[in-house]
Amino acid sequence: MGCRASKKTCQLEASKIETGAVPVVEPFRCTRRVLDRKTGKAFVEIIPDPVWALLKGLYTTAACGVVPAHPLRCCLRRLTQHAGRKMRSASTQKDIQKFIDIYRINMDEVLLPVSEFRSMNDFFTRELKPEARPIASPQEPGVFVSCADCRVIIFPSLEEATRLWIKGSKFSLTELLGAAAPPFLKGCSVVIFRLATQDYHRFHFPCGPGKVLQQINMPGEYYSVNPIAINHRKVDVLTENCRVVTTLKHPSFGQVAFAAVGATLIGSVELLAEAGAHFEKGDCFGYFQYGGSTCVVLTEPGAVAWDKDLLEASAHGLETYVKMGERMGVSPSWDNVVSF
C-alpha cells in the first residue's frame, strides 16, 4: 500500500486536527513529568487532548508496529504540509490570543505586540526582548548554556542514552549525523533539548566564540518528538526525521555536533548561520516553524563538566525545564569553575 492509498485517511486526520474533533478515546495516564529547574518541583506539561489522542493511537497501542509503514509516513508528511500551509495563513491571526491564553505565554517577554503578528506561524517564530533571556557568563568561553527554552536531558555516553531514553532499535549516532558525523563519537555526551509547542521556538548557539564548520540537510519523516515516540523501540524518531546537522568549532569545547530535528506539524527548520560563519554564545542560530521539535547536541568526551542537578535528574530519566541562556556546564579546564 503506497501513498495514494493513504490519501483519504490523511485528509480525514488533517481535518480532525484542524477542528479539534478527534474521536473521544479512553483516557490514559501520562506519567511523564518534567522537573522545573527554578522551583525544583515536577510538573506535567500542557498537551491538547487531540494531540494526546493522536499520540496514543500512533505510539502506545498494540498497533504501533504499523507506524513505520509507508502509508502512515505519508500521512504524517501530509499532515505536516497541511499544518504548515494553514499556520502561515492570515486566517489564523484570530487564534493567536487563544494560543497565548491556553499556554499562558508571558507577553512581557515578547519583542512585538500581538497586533504585529500576521499569522499563527508568525507568532510561533516570535523573537523575545534581549533582556528576557540573559546569557550565563556571556564573556566566559568556558561556560556552556542551554540553546533553547526546552525540556533537557543529558547522557554522558551513548550507552546511557539508549539504556534510559532513546529506544529506537536502529538508532546510532552515525545514522543521526550522516556525513556530518565528527570523529569524536565514541564516548561523547548526548544532550537532547525538546521544545514543546508552547515554547519560544528559536534556538541559539550554546557556546562561543566559535565557527560553523559544515552543515548538511537530511530529509526524512515527521514522527512526533514526544517521549512516547522516542522511548518506543519500533520508531527511530531521531534518525529518521528531517533534520539539519551542523558541526561547530569552539576553543574550549572542541567540536560540537548540533542537529536541529523536525517533527510532526513542523513545517521547516530555518538556520540563520551558514558554514564559515563566526558566532558568539547566545547568538540566534535558527528557528522551527509551527509545532514542537528537538535539538540534539553532541560534545567531545570530557569536554563539558555538566551541572550535577541536570545529571541527577537525567539519571532517573527525568527531563528538566530550562530556558535559553541558562548555564548547563563548564569546561573542566575553566579556571573559575563554580559548583551549581
Q: How many CB atoms lie under 10 A from the CB of residue 90?
A: 10
How is residue 99 written as a grid cell?
494560543
293 flagged as catalytic: yes
Residue 172, class by beta-carbon neighbours within 10 Å (0-12 exposed, 13-18 middle, 19+ buried)? middle
CB 172 within 8 A of CB 205: no
204 flagged as catalytic: yes
Give CA–CA dist 67/204, Å, rounded.
Answer: 32
How is residue 203 written as a grid cell?
534556538
Residue type present at position 230: I
Residues with Cβ within 8 Å of residue 195, at least 6 apart in sequence: 148, 149, 150, 151, 201, 203, 288, 292, 293, 294, 295
Give CA–CA dist 197/191, Å, rounded.
Answer: 20
Which member of 293, 307, 314, 331 is catalytic?
293
Which member of 119, 122, 201, 204 is catalytic?
204
149 flagged as catalytic: yes
Which member of 119, 146, 149, 250 is catalytic?
149
Q: Among all residues, which ones are annotated catalytic?
A: 149, 204, 293
